[in-house]
Chains A and B, each alone.
Chain A
Amino acid sequence: MREVSYFAPTEVGEAVKLLAQHGEKAAVLAGGTDLVAQLNYYEIKPSALVYLGGLDLDYVREEGGKLVIGAGTTIAHLLTDDLIAQKFSVLAEAAATHGSPAIRTKATIGGNLGTASPAGDMIPALMVMDADLVLASSKGQRTVPIQEFFTGPGETVRTAEELILEIHVPLLKGKAVFKKLGRRKAQVCSIVSTAVRLEMDGGVCKDARIVLGSMAPTPLRCSKAEAMLKGKAVDAALVAECAAQAVAESTPIDDQRATAWYRAKAGTALVARALAEVAGI
């Protein structure tokens, strides 16, 4: 029998105190769709499980010109939330591709960030909106731009004593889309995914974000490709050039889902498709 303690705090203060006590030996349990599989296969051996389900972190609100998303918001909730549909539809697009219904009812947006998979479905959409993550510990809170959050596959700047509390999303202008390619259409980890956001003024691009998933050790913002678009009239030729540049910034690998060669080919097509769609060409 495994010697593990279980805690289900009902207040954030209580939760961060537990994390401070147990540090690296605590596993933070939200929806459990990643964590429990790891427990089932003995890949992790925590001495404490801290369940966040009692913290009431499942909410989406608009505050001070930003969307505030509780880290415990389920993917299923994101799919049906009116605010998300109206103001951050690219996140709902990503949510629709995540797992399958019985995964989405439990998986949380905070969990998707914390797991920090390069294939994390929700991450590119948050990155094109320059989201900020609010981390809480017993010492207080800090805000980390999502750009700086990921340090490697499964690795982030979050310390063992911190939990992801909220995601703050500025309501940036422009149109954004998310595209994902997997081995099948549903319940699948992406071979490559992309989110792009373009703010257009007439046919000219004022601001751009291009993010690739599953193409580097972390979800990747392709800043050189973005720079190619700014101030330019966006046409099919520029889209193709820009998509190629985005993929050139990535470092895809061979794995069980696809080869690096295929990822590069498919990634270029996916980014081009996404850019063309938001640019309306």
Chain B
Amino acid sequence: MKQILSFILNGSPVDVIVTPTETLLDVLREKLGVTGPKRGCDDGDCGTCTVLLDGEPVRSCLTIALTVAGREVLTVEGLSTDGDLHPLQKAFHEHGAFQCGFCTPGMLMSAKALLDHNPTPSRTEIREYMSGNLCRCGSYEEIIEAIQVVAAGEYAPSGGKE
């Protein structure tokens, strides 16, 4: 049975017709053209579909779309503001925190959630928090480094947290 789903996507209200078994990932990618979150496993294991739901990281592939009615979803597309890259995006880019890039959208969202909760994580805390995001190319060291430099304030624009 099709239903209209309304929620806030990257700061703007959206309405979309969905079916009950469609996941948030299905709806973002196939219906809303938001292809930043990737489909890597549909099983919750790989982490590349990670988005923030009301500020908390979730697997969009394991989230039934209708359950996000009225809630706020943030994807990698919503990370940069007014054309400026988010500090994490800058750091990932400049520290080469990816090779193929397929895991990057999920990595960035998990990293954002981490720093929102814990602005100065230790290396161990970064490793633990990012443990649900897999990078088959093996850019983990660079990913940790990128998160560390953001936590150290290297990319923060003057006057603001982000």
Q: Which residues on the A side are within 8 Å of B67 (C-beta)?
A: 8, 29, 32, 51, 53
Say yes or no: A106 contacts B59, CB within 8 Å.
yes
Tell me which of B43-51, B89-97, B146-154 binds A: B43-51
Say yes or no: A32 contacts B64, CB within 8 Å.
yes
Say yes or no: B47 contacts A32, CB within 8 Å.
no
Report the contact-size class of chain A (Cβ under 8 Å from the partner). 20 to 34
Shortest distance from the beta carbon of B12 to any chain A beta carbon, whole Å: 23
Say yes or no: A49 contacts B21, CB within 8 Å.
yes
Q: Residues on B close to A: CB < 8 A?
A: 1, 3, 19-21, 23, 42-45, 47, 50, 53, 56-59, 61-64, 66-67, 69, 110, 113-114, 128-129, 131-133
Say yes or no: B44 contacts A2, CB within 8 Å.
no
Shortest distance from the beta carbon of A27 to any chain B beta carbon, whole Å: 10
A-B CB proximity, top 7 nearest: A100-B132, A186-B131, A6-B20, A102-B57, A40-B42, A105-B56, A36-B62
Shortest distance from the beta carbon of A171 to any chain B beta carbon, whole Å: 29
Bound-complex Cα distance A76 to B59 (A): 14
Say yes or no: B19 contacts A99, CB within 8 Å.
no
Bound-complex Cα distance A68 to B50 (A): 31
Say yes or no: B62 contacts A32, CB within 8 Å.
yes
Q: Which residues on the A side are within 8 Å of B110 (C-beta)?
A: 101-102
Whether, in the assembled complex, A278 has its beta carbon less than 8 Å from a beta carbon of chain B, the answer is no
Say yes or no: A37 contacts B64, CB within 8 Å.
no
Q: Which residue of A lies closest to B114 (CB)?
A: A101
Say yes or no: B44 contacts A33, CB within 8 Å.
yes
Bound-complex Cα distance A40 to B39 (A): 12
Shortest distance from the beta carbon of B129 to any chain A beta carbon, whole Å: 6
Q: Which residues on the A side are within 8 Å of B128 (C-beta)?
A: 186
Q: Which residues on the B side are within 8 Å of A101 (C-beta)?
A: 57, 110, 113-114, 129, 132
Bound-complex Cα distance A58 to B39 (A): 29
Bound-complex Cα distance A33 to B132 (A): 13
Q: Which residue of A lies closest to B19 (CB)?
A: A1
Shortest distance from the beta carbon of A164 to any chain B beta carbon, whole Å: 18
Q: Which residues on the A side are within 8 Å of B20 (C-beta)?
A: 2, 4-6, 49
Say yes or no: B19 contacts A2, CB within 8 Å.
yes
Whether, in the assembled complex, A87 has its beta carbon less than 8 Å from a beta carbon of chain B, the answer is no
Q: Hey, what's the 0/1 contact readout for A1-26 against B, CB within 8 Å counting as 1?
A: 11111101000000000000000000
